[in-house]
Amino acid sequence: MNVTLITGASGGIGEAFARRLAAEKHNLLLVARSEPKLRTICGELTQQFGIQAQYVAVDLTKPGADQLLFDETEKRNLTVDGLINNAGIGSGGDLLELDLASELAMMQLNMNALVALTYRFLPGMRARKHGTIINVASMACFQPIPYMAVYAASKMFVRSFTEAMMVENQPFQIRVMLLCPGATETGFFDAANLTGEKRSAYSGGDRTETPEQVVESAMRGLRAGKRITVSGFQNRVTAFLGHFIPNSFIMPILAGWLRPKAKDQGGVATRSI
């Protein structure tokens, strides 16, 4: 049975992808850590849309998680012809105020897991000369961001890796697309401990999209054959202007917006990630 594998599907953008693809009659393999949420979503989607939705509850930062997932698909006789590498976490603040283990785990999830899953499922796609990969980056992939240094670097990695994959896999008729959401109403900011004033500094206040809007942009981008889809008009304008403005000019401005205040380690500017 053909399936689309979605990581980070227990909430936010990943869950919105699952609901959208289920409505379009795709069978799904959903991945995240929270088993009860995955079980509920799979039950709902199977019942509502008459598709097959299965899940694997696994922590993608753990060594061997990619192999475990691949083995599960073999055992269940699933052919992964769509891969949405969406699972990711964020963090913000002065590097030395952040927990080193958490930063390294974020790198493991945002970069290593994405590469490892691509590595595992590409051979089958190449052999069948058919497949689609969507890698979820962020507006943070377009320039270094002071006070979000590791997260932005991880998303720049995703962008660089994905653009290279597009070219490497063109001869095999595999579609590879980079998706760049800006601030989106999900559990992302809570998971990153960016709450209160910090949240509005990093999310750009009310300039947020819903996960459904992000997925709508992604599906439109995919259908239009886009290599990079930036979700949201303002984000597209920002990304476009970024081509003409040097990082040396942008970074001090971002630093001014996001630099933690001595009082509460918070910020109050508006900027969408």
Ligand X SMILES: NC(=O)c1ccc[n+]([C@@H]2O[C@H](COP(=O)([O-])OP(=O)(O)OC[C@H]3O[C@@H](n4cnc5c(N)ncnc54)[C@H](OP(=O)(O)O)[C@@H]3O)[C@@H](O)[C@H]2O)c1
Establish whether 147 is a catalytic residue: no
Minimum CB separation of residue 43 from ligand X in Å reads 16
The four Cα atoms 79, 58, 161, 240 give a dihedral, to 10 degrees, of 100
Report the candidate in 44, 47, 51 with the shortest Cα–Cα distance to residue 10: 44
Which CB atom, from 126 or from 149, has the smaller least distance to ligand X? 149
Cβ neighbours of residue 244 closer than 8 Å, sequence gap 6 or more? none
Which CB atom, from 61 or from 162, has the smaller least distance to ligand X? 61
Which CB atom, from 36 or from 246, has the smaller least distance to ligand X? 36
Report the candidate in 204, 97, 76 with the shortest Cα–Cα distance to residue 140: 204
Q: Applying CB under 6 A, which residues contact ligand X? A: 8-14, 32-34, 37, 59-61, 86-90, 109, 136, 138, 181, 183-184, 186-188, 191, 273
**Distance (Å, whole) CA 262 – CA 140:** 24
User: Considering just the CA atoms, what is the radius of gyration of the chain in Å?
Assistant: 18
Minimum CB separation of residue 241 from ligand X in Å reads 18
Which CB atom, from 8 or from 267, has the smaller least distance to ligand X? 8
Minimum CB separation of residue 109 from ligand X in Å reads 5
Given the residues 55, 119, 147, 151, the one annotated as active site: 151
Report the candidate in 110, 123, 134 with the shortest Cα–Cα distance to residue 229: 134
Distances (CA, A) of 1 to 6, 71, 178: 16, 15, 26
Minimum CB separation of residue 37 from ligand X in Å reads 6
> Could you list the active site residues?
151
